[in-house]
Structure 1
Amino acid sequence: MALRNALLAALIDRESSGYDLAKRFSASVANFWTATPQQLYRELDRMESAGLLSARLVKQEKRPDKRLFSVTELGRAALKTFTAQDPKPTTVRDELLIQVEALAHADVPSVRAAIRTRMRLSAQRVEAYQRQLAEILGTRTHEEFLATGNRIGPYLTLQRGISFERENISWGELALDILARRFP
């Protein structure tokens, strides 16, 4: 059900192909929801069958035809119902934290390497999210955008993604410092 709501939110402002949605999911929506392209395509088909989305076929030369999906009135109503509910509490499922939890019996150099990798990936995501944020802002300042912009939802989710990845980096620095002192 949550993937369905994430897709409705991603499509609410503009129609999109499954391919474009998969790209968007890996680029921006991934900071709060992940899905494989296969999961996306299956869910898009189910949503179309349920009347939440409509699709139109676009003929293309030198490429396969593509379907562009848009949210129907029934889909808008479903999204409104979803946004009126209290969301489920967030839980963390993170293999790296299991490795850290098991430090007493772990391969400490491997855990250090995993922390460094997480920090590097987080830094890359921060850069990507900041580029996307710059695209949303255009030539406007944050204040101008907040007063006049129409993509407040993506702005806020990108801000959350940036904060989350910065916290991953900060935690990684702390963890590496402690490991260096405890396991020289």
Structure 2
Amino acid sequence: MALRNALLAALIDRESSGYDLAKRFSASVANFWTATPQQLYRELEKMESDGLLSARIVKQDKRPDKRLFSVTDSGRAALLAFTRREPKPTTVRDELLIQVEALAHADVPSVRRSIHAQLDKSRHRLETYERSLAEILGPRSHDEFLATGNRIGPYLTLQRGISFERENLAWGRLALDVLARRYPGADGG
């Protein structure tokens, strides 16, 4: 159900093709909800069948026709109902933390490599989120945007994603420092 609500939120302001939605989803919504393109397309089809979305065909020269999805009145009502309920508590499911938890019985160089890989991913996501935030802000300062901007929801979710990735980077650096001190001969890259 949450993917459905994330798609409704992503489509609420403008219609979009599945392809464009998948690109936008990975650039902005991914900071709080992930899905593969296949999951997105399947859910879009279900949502259209359930009357939450409508689709129109746009003819294209030299390319297959594309379908543009938009939220119906039923979809708006469903999203409104979703915003009125209390969300489930956030939980962390992180395989890297399981590896770290098992350090006493783990291959320390492999765990260090995993941490380095996670740091690289977090840096990349942080850069992506900061670019998206700069696009939302345009030439305005944060204060100017907060007073006049109309994309407050995406602004706030990007701020959360930015904070999350900054914390991931800080934790990763701490973990690598601790491992270097505790296991000085276990180089993981």
Give the distance between the partners of 1:45 and 1:125, measured in 2 at CA. Answer: 29
Secondary structure at the aligned position of 2:62 is classed as: coil
Give the distance between the partners of 2:173 and 2:35, measured in 1 at CA. Answer: 29
Which aligned segments of 4 or more residues in structure 1 are displaced greater than 6 angstroms?
none
Deviation at 1:104?
0.6
Secondary structure at the aligned position of 1:54 is classed as: strand
Residue equivalent to 1:165: 165
**Aligned-residue identity in percent:** 82
Q: Does 1:151 align with 2:151?
A: yes
Residue equivalent to 1:98: 98
Residue equivalent to 1:64: 64
Q: 1:79-133 CA distances to partner (integer Å, 9 max, x unpaired)?
A: 0000000000111111100100110111101111111111111111111111110
Give the distance between the partners of 1:5 and 1:173, measured in 2 at CA. Answer: 35
Give the distance between the partners of 2:148 and 2:77, measured in 1 at CA. Answer: 26
Give the distance between the partners of 1:18 and 1:130, measured in 2 at CA. Answer: 24
Give the distance between the partners of 1:173 and 1:37, measured in 2 at CA. Answer: 32
Give the distance between the partners of 2:42 and 2:173, measured in 1 at CA. Answer: 40
Deviation at 1:31?
0.7
Residue equivalent to 1:42: 42
Give the distance between the partners of 2:4 and 2:42, measured in 1 at CA. Answer: 10
What residue identity is the alignment partner of 2:76?
R
TM-score, normalised with respect to structure 2: 0.96
Q: Does 1:2 align with 2:32?
A: no
Deviation at 1:24?
1.1
Residue equivalent to 2:78: 78
Q: 1:137-178 CA distances to partner (integer Å, 9 max, x unpaired)?
A: 111111010001000000000000000000000001111111
Secondary structure at the aligned position of 1:150 is classed as: coil
Give the distance between the partners of 1:7 and 1:102, measured in 2 at CA. Answer: 37
Q: What RMSD over aligned residues (CA atoms) do the two structures have, in Å?
A: 0.6
Give the distance between the partners of 1:172 and 1:69, measured in 2 at CA. Answer: 40
Q: Which runs of 5+ in 2 are unaligned?
A: 185-189
Give the distance between the partners of 2:58 and 2:30, measured in 1 at CA. Answer: 27
Give the distance between the partners of 1:140 and 1:98, measured in 2 at CA. Answer: 42
TM-score, normalised with respect to structure 1: 0.98
What residue identity is the alignment partner of 2:101?
E
The count of aligned residue pairs is 184
Give the distance between the partners of 2:113 and 2:63, measured in 1 at CA. Answer: 43
Residue equivalent to 1:124: 124
